[in-house]
Amino acid sequence: MITIALSKGRIFEETLPLLAAAGITPAEDPEKSRKLIIGTNRDDVRLIIVRATDVPTYVEHGAADLGVAGRDVLLEHGGDGLYQPLDLDIAKCSLMVAVREGYDYDAAVKQGARLKIATKYVKQAREHFADKGVHVDLIKLYGSMELAPLVGLADAIVDLVSTGGTLKANKLVAVEHIRDISSRLVLNQAALKLKRDRLQPMLDAFRGAIGTGR
């Protein structure tokens, strides 16, 4: 049995064509079903629906053989003990610093300054500001980060931005680009060794579907 860990929403939808390339079709749509384990047209392949941040954990422990996780999630998790051979080039967005409209970010991030940053991505935010030589107080939030600068919880946020719609609606502006994010295929290390005969064809099919040079 091969178990694939996916998260609902954008990653699931954009992974579907890749699964199709490997000859795998889910039996149900997770948006409609409340089941967490979803069968496929192949008896030996099943999908499990987990939170995006949990994908690396499931795969690392071998509860899933492979999964799709955003680079943001992997960088926070550390990625130790996983193989991540493929950039799937899906669910693309950017990790950005954003502030309230009218806030003078450039003046505030001078070397040696001290800022309050609200973010879900503590590790990446810490690294980013350490590289710039700026002191930051990091405030870990689990969602609705856009709110933090508006109510005075933080000076700036570090968050994923894809269209910029949420920022705009909340009168925030992106001021700094940290890195581009897309989703990676992650594999359990022992699984790739023990089930290579079944995983490798899948891997090759994914690679074929994303196109060469990746």
Q: Per rule CB under 8 A, is residue 201 in the interface with other proteins?
A: no
Q: Identify the residue among 130, 196, 201, 208 touching other proteins (CB under 8 A).
A: 196
Q: Identify the residue among 7, 119, 124, 188 touching other proteins (CB under 8 A).
A: 188
Q: What is the spatial distance between Cα 125 and Cα 141, in angstroms, rounded to a whole number?
A: 12
Q: What is the spatial distance between Cα 201 and Cα 66, in angstroms, rounded to a whole number?
A: 13
By CB under 8 A, the residues from 158 to 177 that bind other proteins are none
Instruction: Please spell the DSSP secondary structure of 98-123, one letter per residue.
Output: EEETT--HHHHT-TT-EEEEEES-HH
- Choice between 87 and 101, CB closer to other proteins: 87
Q: Identify the residue among 84, 94, 166, 170 touching other proteins (CB under 8 A).
A: 84
- Choice between 82 and 115, CB closer to other proteins: 82
Q: Identify the residue among 85, 133, 201, 208 touching other proteins (CB under 8 A).
A: 85
Q: Tell me, what amino acid is at 213?
A: G
What Å distances lie between residue 207 and 5, 73, 191, 212, CA to CA? 18, 21, 18, 7
Q: Identify the residue among 135, 140, 171, 214 touching other proteins (CB under 8 A).
A: 214
By CB under 8 A, the residues from 37 to 66 that bind other proteins are 60-62
Q: Identify the residue among 8, 76, 81, 126 touching other proteins (CB under 8 A).
A: 81
3-class state of residue 80 by DSSP: coil
H-helix segments, the chain = 10-21, 55-61, 71-77, 105-108, 122-132, 147-150, 165-169, 189-194, 196-210
Give me the residues that bind other proteins (CB under 8 A), please: 60-62, 79-87, 184, 187-190, 192-194, 196, 200, 214
